[in-house]
Structure 1
Amino acid sequence: MSKILICPTKYQQGAGELKRVGEYAKNYGKKVLVLITNSGYKRIGKEVEASLSEHGVEVVIDYFKGECSRSEIERLKAIMEEQGLDMVIGIGGGKILDTAKAVAYYCKRPVMICPTIASTDAPCSALSVIYSDKGVFEEYLFLPTNPNMVLVDTEVVAKSPVRLTVAGMGDALATYFEARAVAKSDSTTCAGGSGTLAALALAKLCYETLLTEGVKAKLALESGALTKSVEAIIEANTLLSGIGFESGGLAGAHAIHNGFTALPETHQAYHGEKVAFGTIVQLILENADEDELGEVIEFCIEIGLPVTLKELGIRTINDSKLKEVAKIACADSDTLGNLPFKVSEEDVVAAIKAADACGRYFLGETK
């Protein structure tokens, strides 16, 4: 199996970068669709329009309808063709960015991705998650290329709710442990081949950055400060985790997350919060070294990621619920099979219980 690494053509990050968006966009198109929410436009839309106009780029603004759905993609494709637009710029959160990538793919146009939060590693990926108009997951749309450019304005990201960036750290936390497992089993990555040494190195750097900068970044964000630690964590959440997960591979943590989505009580938890707990479950399944397991749990506690089922919203724990989680996590179509050993549904139930017990132990709680 070939080794494959994929990544955006260009990644650029810094304070005030959205004010220069026209300088970059003019290299890809002259008449662009800007996809943004109504609230997002009120915050930053005028400066984006001004920058594009300053550099001779004609702008068509369209407000996102809320779901990365087939109907929304078709609606935007029609606008692209009717108005002769030659580029897509997505500004906002994950669903807007996924929609922008999908529209650009179907219209064979370049795409610029401008995340305004750092809660997931989706901006850099060659993937769009497609939902129904009511928000029910339908399919993954694997794209032939990554975005032409990812532009991250850290000033804008730093003003988003702190919990979102912390959730991004939870998503990023899994990157190294999943890539390490995939490397051991020589499983296929999201890029369609074996993982590279480069991807594994970036995944490890992602984890190391979380440990050294995560707490400092959270404290800075809570005080409204954009510091070097915040910059480092935004890069870890977005670029290091983005390349690490896609070219390094997914394994247990994300499969466990997918299982938890079956329980309505976990819907109040963000993606990265569930992934963080899934990372602890994966480490239990691997019978990880006690020091490593403790390091991960203590990190989660320190920055405010969930380490118990109660913190995920599950007040009543019973085997029937956990078996439902395990059944989904162990599905042949998911990534739990990328672990370098066989895992049964019973193994997953036991690991979830043990992870919860470990979390309560480190919190100093009794059952």
Structure 2
Amino acid sequence: MAKILISPSKYVQGPKELKKLGSYTQGYGKKALILISDGGYKRIGKMIEDSFAKSTCEYHFDFFHGECSKNEITRLCNIMKETKCDCIIGVGGGKIFDTAKAVAYYEKTPVLICPTIASTDAPCSALSVIYTDDGVFEEYLFLPANPNMVLMDTDIIVQSPVRLTMAGIGDALATYFEARACEQSDAMSCAGGKTTQAAMALARLCFDTLMEEGVKAKIALEAKACTPAVEKIIEANTLLSGIGFESAGLAGAHAIHNGLTVLEECHAMYHGEKVAFGTITQLVLENVDAQELQEIIEFCIALGLPVTLQQLGVHEVTKEKIMAVAEAACAENDTLHNMPFEVTPATVCDAILAADAYGHYFLGI
């Protein structure tokens, strides 16, 4: 099988870049559907409108309904037809991006992604994670192409809640460990082939950047300061993790995340927060050495990422609940089977309970 690396066609990161959105968009279509949340429009809608003032491209706003579900995708495909839009722009966070990418796929149009947060690696990928209307993981929709453009305005991201960028670190933290597992098992990546040296190098660079810059970036963001550490973390969360996970592969951490979505108590937690706990669980499954496990748990604690089930919202932990998570994580179509050894709901359940116990241990509670 061939080795494959895929990436967005263009990645732009810097201050005040959203003010150029209209001029960027005119290279992709004549009328853009701009998918944004109601709150996002109130914050930056005027800035986006102003960016189109001198553009040859028209635009139409529509407000996201909250889930990247089949019903939401269908609704927006119909709006694309009704408004005669020939490209789509997703502005906001991960579920908006995934929805915009799916709509672009079905409508055969270009898609531009404009994150206002750095909370996931979704912006760069040729993948949409589909949920039910109630927020339960349903399936991965693998797309034939990555976004035409990803635009990161660092001025806007620095103003977002610090917790969101830390959740992005939680998502990115899984990249190297899942890539390592896939390389060991010779698994097929999300790109449809085996991993390249380039993808592994980017996954490793992502991890090294997080460990070196993560705490520094957290402190700077709390002061609303955009420092070199913050710039590097934004790139790691978005570009390095995006290419790394997609072209090197997913394994245990994201499957554990998907399993956790069956617990309603976890729905208030961000994607990356659940992935961070999934990463710890994957490391327990792998029985990594004590020093590596301790380093990752203490790093998560320093960033405020959850290391226990209670921190994920599960205040009453029962074997039945955790087995339900484990069974969902072990679904036939999920990525837990990319681990370089056999996994079963029983071993995953034990790993989740052990990860929770290790979290309590290092928290001293």
On whether the aligned pair clears a TM of 0.5, the verdict is: yes
In 2: Cα distance, 1:139 partner to 1:251 partner:
15
Aligned to 2:6: 6
SS in 2 for 1:295: helix
In 1: Cα distance, 2:242 partner to 2:92 partner:
17
Instruction: Please give the per-residue CA displacement for 1:36-75, whole angstroms capped at 9, x wherever unaligned.
Output: 2222122111121221221222222222233333333333
Aligned to 2:198: 198
**TM superposition shift of 1:353:** 2.5
Aligned to 1:52: 52
**TM superposition shift of 1:108:** 1.4
In 1: Cα distance, 2:350 partner to 2:93 partner:
35
Answer whether contact 2:33 2:88 (CA < 8 A) is retained.
yes
Answer whether contact 1:53 1:59 (CA < 8 A) is retained.
no
In 2: Cα distance, 1:114 partner to 1:302 partner:
29
In 2: Cα distance, 1:95 partner to 1:349 partner:
28
Letter in 2 for 1:191: A
Matches within 5 A, 1:287-302: 287-302=287-302
TM-score, with length taken from structure 1 = 0.95
In 2: Cα distance, 1:275 partner to 1:194 partner:
23
Residues 1:272 and 2:272 are matched in the alignment: yes
Matches within 5 A, 1:56-71: 56-71=56-71
Answer whether contact 1:128 1:140 (CA < 8 A) is retained.
yes
In 2: Cα distance, 1:344 partner to 1:130 partner:
24
Aligned to 2:250: 250
Aligned to 1:338: 338
Instruction: Please give the per-residue CA displacement for 1:194-215, whole angstroms capped at 9, x wherever unaligned.
Output: 1111111111111111111111
Aligned to 2:36: 36
Q: Quick one: structure 1 residues 160 and 318, their matched pair in 2 at CA, closer, same or farther if it must change by over 3 Å? A: same
Letter in 2 for 1:61: F
Q: Quick one: structure 1 residues 146 and 358, their matched pair in 2 at CA, closer, same or farther if it must change by over 3 Å? A: same
Aligned to 1:87: 87
Q: Share of identical aligned residues, percent? A: 66
Answer whether contact 1:175 1:244 (CA < 8 A) is retained.
yes
SS in 2 for 1:226: coil
SS in 2 for 1:123: helix
How many residue pairs get aligned? The number is: 365
Aligned to 1:314: 314
**TM superposition shift of 1:252:** 0.9
Letter in 2 for 1:50: D
Letter in 2 for 1:188: M
Instruction: Please give the per-residue CA displacement for 1:314-361, whole angstroms capped at 9, x wherever unaligned.
Output: 233332222222212222221111111112222222222222222222
In 2: Cα distance, 1:103 partner to 1:93 partner:
16
Aligned to 2:218: 218
Answer whether contact 2:308 2:355 (CA < 8 A) is retained.
yes
Q: Quick one: structure 1 residues 359 and 66, their matched pair in 2 at CA, closer, same or farther if it must change by over 3 Å? A: closer
Q: Quick one: structure 1 residues 325 and 73, their matched pair in 2 at CA, closer, same or farther if it must change by over 3 Å? A: closer
In 1: Cα distance, 2:220 partner to 2:201 partner:
27
Residues 1:111 and 2:78 are matched in the alignment: no
Q: Quick one: structure 1 residues 92 and 83, their matched pair in 2 at CA, closer, same or farther if it must change by over 3 Å? A: same
Letter in 2 for 1:229: A
**TM superposition shift of 1:185:** 0.4
Aligned to 1:169: 169
SS in 1 for 2:28: coil
Q: Quick one: structure 1 residues 71 and 278, their matched pair in 2 at CA, closer, same or farther if it must change by over 3 Å? A: closer
Aligned to 2:189: 189
**TM superposition shift of 1:76:** 2.7
SS in 2 for 1:139: strand
User: Is the deviation greater in 46-55 or in 212-221?
Assistant: 46-55
TM-score, with length taken from structure 2 = 0.95
Matches within 5 A, 1:109-188: 109-188=109-188
Q: Quick one: structure 1 residues 81 and 343, their matched pair in 2 at CA, closer, same or farther if it must change by over 3 Å? A: closer
Instruction: Please give the per-residue CA displacement for 1:125-176, whole angstroms capped at 9, x wherever unaligned.
Output: 1122233444444433221100000011111111111111111111111110
In 1: Cα distance, 2:111 partner to 2:285 partner:
40
Q: Quick one: structure 1 residues 299 and 195, their matched pair in 2 at CA, closer, same or farther if it must change by over 3 Å? A: same
In 2: Cα distance, 1:74 partner to 1:318 partner:
38
What is the CA RMSD across the aligned residues, in angstroms? 1.6
Q: Quick one: structure 1 residues 317 and 158, their matched pair in 2 at CA, closer, same or farther if it must change by over 3 Å? A: same
Answer whether contact 2:5 2:196 (CA < 8 A) is retained.
yes
Letter in 2 for 1:37: S
Q: Quick one: structure 1 residues 23 and 296, their matched pair in 2 at CA, closer, same or farther if it must change by over 3 Å? A: same
SS in 2 for 1:91: strand
Q: Quick one: structure 1 residues 94 and 186, their matched pair in 2 at CA, closer, same or farther if it must change by over 3 Å? A: same
In 1: Cα distance, 2:231 partner to 2:195 partner:
27
